[in-house]
Amino acid sequence: MAPDDREETMTQPAIELKGISKAFGPVQANRDISIRVMPGTIHGIIGENGAGKSTLMSILYGFYKADAGEIFINGKKTEIPDSQAAIAAGIGMVFQHFKLVQNFTVLENVILGAEEGQLLKTSLSKARGVLKQLAEDYALRVDPDALIENLSVGHQQRVEILKALYRQADILILDEPTGVLTPAEADHLFRILEGLRDQGKTIILITHKLREIMEITDTVSVMRRGEMTATVKTSETSPEELAELMVGRKVLLHVDKKPAQPGKPVLEIENLRHVDSWGVERLKGISLSVRAGEILGIAGVSGNGQSELLHVLGGMTTATGTIRVNGQEIDLTGQHSDGQSRRARGIAHVPEDRHHEGLILPYTAWENLVFGYHRDPAIQKGWLMDNAGIKAEAAKKMERFDVRPPNPNLAARNFSGGNQQKIVLAREIERDPDILLVGQPTRGVDIGAIEFIHKEIIRLRDKGKAILLVSVELDEILSLSDRIAVMFDGRIMGERLPAETDQTELGLLMAGVTEKPDKPLIEAVDEQLKAKAQREARNNV
Amino acid sequence: MDLDTIIQVLDSTIRLSTPLLLACLAGLFSERAGIFDIGLEGKMLFSAFFSAAIAFTTGSVWLGLLAGMVASIALSAIHGLASITFRGNQLISGVALNFLASGLTVLVAQDWFRQGGRTPTLEGGARFEAITLPFAESLRGVPVLGPIYADLISGHSILVYVAFAMVPLTWWVLFRTRFGLRLRAVGEAPEAVDTAGVSVVGLRFAAVAICGALCGLAGAYLATGLQAGFVKEMTAGRGYIALAALIFAKWRPWYALVACLLFGLLQAIALRYQNIDLGAFVVPVQFMDALPYILTVVILAGFVGKAIPPRAGGEPYVKER
């Protein structure tokens, strides 16, 4: 399906990969991949987690050496044994996790590795000039003397882009660039990318978000299980077709659910406050209620108190205020404020951080499936645990939750992200709790598993349970929630009904903007985020 | 207390601070690059022995210094191999080297010189002699400033001046040169250095080598400047005190100078005033001797505010996708 229009065959591709293969032990991460990226275009690469997108780009950036295959840059065969060679070939990469030195200034980060001469003075003054020019050309404004740790995530990403441009990159690779951004920041990033494209730069955008592909790319390549399954023009495809190409079968992109039938309030939170170990107030008087048979979604940029809210509710930390479960107040500071007591009150918790809080990775699946409920008398045999019974029970749960492979003796770390999450969900949901706390249920989970997890959450709701969902994915919040509360800086900025709001309004609330600003949207949001970063920087001194 | 006494105590402070300062700056280079080095002690001891042994054998203190630095850098290379190349645990590697140095120096000394694990006393050209700065004698008559110049500033061995000159030099290298920028970056975010196309391994080995060289100077000063020959365990925990000073200084060169002078002063006071009579009770000599070490514990326990070590410190760098 490669596009071979006359005009495209006439110009050289900026990047051409031919027959790239790469294996890690028995795992074939990339298999005979060929791709052509035209200059001056935004080329999307989409695929599930583990489809081999990042491996492919790491080969292009010299992080890995391909087992087989050739790389052509602007028609010239190029060897890329290390990052230095990639930079020399005009390739710049913006990683998902930024590669910045936190306590260096923007300028120092930009020149690192691209200094001129032994002394810093000349490099710094030159970079200052270049940065000023780039800021004008591409609307990439960042204070050159600011420390990275004081910048918002969106600004840090701009520094990464500036780093690449300073090294005169013509080809820019961005790996999942919007994962950490607010919708407004993501929009701004897209405007920057369009500006770069219009100036003739070539951009490769790696993502698993269909919406971004449809919105900004010119061409899109789809990867599945290490293979390139298609390359199509974005204007000639649809999200449904791309999703099918990614997963290999039809998927439901929107969640099918009946309207909620909310009952009486099950979880009531009043004026909840939490101060962390640094003395910073992370929850500043939260009041919420979740009714039976309803999903309350908490939207927000990560780090605005959502994690602390889950920790307090799950009994992992203390707080002041009032929490009532089925009308009865629960202990927030005393000896009945731990996770064990919360479970006894019917609160189940699927934590945000599956690797550290949800699972014990070296333990087996069956051990993980009983953890937290292992004192239940029903699974004891005298002094000992009834391991055989627990294992049989675990096997059943794994089958019902479609955990693959369905082997209870396998260590948790050997399952993929989606299957690990299913193990945690199976443990919590199968105990039939009154309240389910779910944090980032589909972070790092592939599309097939996302669908399954969403269905399970809705099934629990339809059984009349109260569900509190925390997610940074607005799509997820919008499609799952019956009611949405937006958190910013430890406060609830407002509640909305999914049918009566949209990404833009939620995005503004997430950035702490409650009224329509007189300034352009982007600037208003930037200012808010900057103010927040500065506050945090002050708090952390 | 008269001016002479004060000058004598401060003079002694400078001498005692010198090995601490060199070791502290050695640790600073290594730890700023992300390699924790608990083996400063062992490297100093190694250098102290080899510098004294070679200085005695050849009669040249300069050859002794060279031998001490080579020996210390050799230990650094082992530490680098274990913790950079093979990504081992940096603390364990450092502790192992300390044990190695502690045992090996005495063993070799006994086999070589047959004097119970020490070197013979160094004399003449086998020791670093005090340098008299220009006009020291003629300015001695000037009130206050004269004695300070003649007795406090003048009259130390060359390594003392080298140590104090290393402070601004270290600052300049770290904060004004390309090498320094990269060195600090590799201790904070090695992945940033790696993706910028600079070798993490190369930078860290360079830092460890500088650390070895400076420890070599410190050890050589102990055996051929401060004292006249090597004796068993002569470093007496100075490597650990230097580490404490490094934390106290929050990994900054000028603060390191202040911290090392403070520890040096405590040692000087303990040396001069054996029992301090406060009227109501007498502070025993044992307490004064223990004071630098007690202060070390207090500092390490975090009583001097929050000291944030380099973020990537102690962590071997593994490339990730």
Q: Three-state SS string across A233-290, please?
A: EHHHCCHHHHHHHHHCCCCCCCCCCCCCCCCCEEEEEEEEEEECCCCCEEEEEEEEEE
Per-residue model confidence (pLDDT) at position A65: 87
Mutation test of the interface with chain B: which of A22, A112, A147, choosing the one with the most B Cβ atoms within 10 A?
Answer: A112
Beta-strand relationship, A483-488 and A491-496: antiparallel
Domain count, chain B: 1
Instruction: Give the Cα separation of B174 and B183 in Å (integer).
Output: 7
Question: φ and ψ at A418, to 5 degrees?
Answer: -65, -40
Instruction: Give the Cα separation of B238 and B260 in Å (integer).
Output: 10
Among chain B residues, CA nearest to A117: B178
∠ Cα A17 A18 A24 (to 5°): 85
Under the banding of pLDDT at 50, 70 and 90, the label for residue A231 is very high
Spatial CA neighbour of A177 closest among A86, A102, A90, A98: A98
Spatial CA neighbour of B292 closest among B247, B232, B245: B245
A265-275, strands of its sheet edge to edge:
A281-291, A265-275, A320-325, A328-329
DSSP codes of every residue in A75-144? TEE----SHHHHHHTTEEEE-SS----TTSBHHHHHHTT---SSBHHHHHHHHHHHHHHHHHHH-----T
Are the C-beta atoms of residues A93 and A175 closer than 8 Å to each other?
yes
Per-residue model confidence (pLDDT) at position B286: 82
Structure tokens at A339: 């996770």
Using CB atoms, which residue from A55, A95, A119 is nearest to B195?
A95
> Is position B313 within any domain?
no
Contact B188 A113 (CB under 8 A): no
Neighbours of B80 (CB within 10 A): 25
Parts of chain B with a pLDDT under 50: 321
Q: Name the minimum distance, in Å, from the CA of A92 to any CA of chain B.
A: 10
CA atoms within 13 A on the CB side of A112: 36
Structure tokens at B110: 């006994």
Per-residue model confidence (pLDDT) at position A381: 87
Per-residue model confidence (pLDDT) at position B321: 45
Spatial CA neighbour of A75 closest among A16, A2, A155: A16
Beta-strand relationship, A42-47 and A91-94: unpaired
Mutation test of the interface with chain B: which of A57, A101, A175, A278, choosing the one with the most B Cβ atoms within 10 A?
Answer: A101
What residues in A contact B191, CB-CB < 8 Å? 99
Per-residue model confidence (pLDDT) at position A4: 46
∠ Cα A315 A320 A322 (to 5°): 80
What dotted CATH number matches A263-346+433-501? 3.40.50.300
Per-residue model confidence (pLDDT) at position A258: 85
Mutation test of the interface with chain A: which of B177, B188, B195, choosing the one with the most A Cβ atoms within 10 A?
Answer: B195
Using CB atoms, which residue from A99, A108, A115 is nearest to B195?
A99
∠ Cα A490 A495 A498 (to 5°): 125
* Tens-digit pLDDT profile for residues A306-322: 999 999 999 999 999 99
Per-residue model confidence (pLDDT) at position B70: 97
Topology alike, domains A1-90+206-251 and A263-346+433-501 = yes
Q: How many residues does chain B have?
A: 321
A27-37, strands of its sheet edge to edge:
A27-37, A15-24, A68-73, A76-77
Contact A83 B191 (CB under 8 A): no
Mutation test of the interface with chain A: which of B175, B181, B319, choosing the one with the most A Cβ atoms within 10 A?
Answer: B181
> Is position B133 within any domain?
no
What residues in B contact A84, CB-CB < 8 Å? 197-198
A255 pLDDT above the threshold of 70: yes
Contact A113 B176 (CB under 8 A): no
Q: Return the DSSP state at B133.
A: P
Burial of A228 (0-12, 13-18, 19+ CB in 10 A): buried
A225 pLDDT above the threshold of 70: yes
* Tens-digit pLDDT profile for residues A349-403: 999 888 889 999 999 999 999 988 888 888 888 888 899 999 999 999 999 998 8
Instruction: Give the Cα separation of B286 and B169 in Å (integer).
Output: 37
Neighbours of B320 (CB within 10 A): 10
Instruction: Give the Cα separation of A109 and A131 in Å (integer).
Output: 12
Instruction: Give the Cα separation of A36 and A53 in Å (integer).
Output: 15
Q: Name the minimum distance, in Å, from the CA of B320 to any CA of chain A.
A: 9
Under the banding of pLDDT at 50, 70 and 90, the label for residue A184 is confident
Does A10 touch chain B if contact means CB atoms closer than 8 Å? no
Per-residue model confidence (pLDDT) at position A335: 85
Q: Return the DSSP state at A16.
A: E
Per-residue model confidence (pLDDT) at position B133: 87
Per-residue model confidence (pLDDT) at position A2: 45
- The CA-atom distances, in angstroms, between B211 and each of A253, B24, B143, B177, B206 are 58, 9, 41, 18, 9
Does A87 touch chain B if contact means CB atoms closer than 8 Å? yes
Mutation test of the interface with chain B: which of A61, A97, A99, A161, choosing the one with the most B Cβ atoms within 10 A?
Answer: A99
Q: Return the DSSP state at B234.
A: T
Instruction: Give the Cα separation of B102 and B233 in Å (integer).
Output: 7
Task: Give the amino acid at A490.
Answer: G
Instruction: Give the Cα separation of A271 and B111 in Å (integer).
Output: 76
Using CB atoms, which residue from B177, B188, B319 is nearest to A63?
B319
Q: Name the minimum distance, in Å, from the CA of B175 to any CA of chain A.
A: 8
Does A111 touch chain B if contact means CB atoms closer than 8 Å? yes
∠ Cα A185 A532 A216 (to 5°): 5
A1 pLDDT above the threshold of 70: no
Using CB atoms, which residue from A82, A111, A120 is nearest to B197?
A82
Q: Return the DSSP state at A473.
A: -
The contacts of residue A25 (CB under 8 Å, 6+ apart) are none
Q: Name the minimum distance, in Å, from the CA of A145 to any CA of chain B.
A: 15
Is the pTM higher than 0.90? The answer reads no
Q: Return the DSSP state at A344.
A: H
Spatial CA neighbour of A50 closest among A369, A304, A416, A390: A416
Contact B177 A119 (CB under 8 A): yes
Per-residue model confidence (pLDDT) at position A8: 45
Pick the CATH number of A1-90+206-251 from 1.10.290.10, 3.40.1190.20, 3.40.710.10, 3.40.50.300: 3.40.50.300
Residue holding tokens 């629960």?
A: A330
The contacts of residue A453 (CB under 8 Å, 6+ apart) are A418, A421, A422, A425, A441, A442, A445
- Determine the angle formed by the axes of helices A183-198 and A521-540, rounding to 10 degrees: 120
Domain boundaries, given as residue ranges, for chain A: 1-90+206-251, 263-346+433-501, 354-432
A243 or A44, higher pLDDT: A44
Per-residue model confidence (pLDDT) at position A467: 96
A457 or B296, higher pLDDT: A457
Domain containing residue B207: 3-128+143-300
Q: Which CATH number does the domain housing residue B171 bear?
A: 1.10.3470
Residue holding tokens 């391991």?
A: A387
Neighbours of A321 (CB within 10 A): 16
The contacts of residue B45 (CB under 8 Å, 6+ apart) are B98, B101, B102, B105, B219, B233, B234, B235, B239
Are the C-beta atoms of residues A369 and A336 closer than 8 Å to each other?
no
CB–CB contacts below 8 A, A to B: 73
Rg (CA), chain A: 25
What residues in B contact A108, CB-CB < 8 Å? 181
Does A58 touch chain B if contact means CB atoms closer than 8 Å? yes
Spatial CA neighbour of B31 closest among B72, B100, B83: B83
> Is position B161 within any domain?
yes
Percent residues over pLDDT 90 in chain A: 50
Does A117 touch chain B if contact means CB atoms closer than 8 Å? yes
Under the banding of pLDDT at 50, 70 and 90, the label for residue A512 is confident
DSSP codes of every residue in B176-192? HBHHHHHHHHHHH-HHH
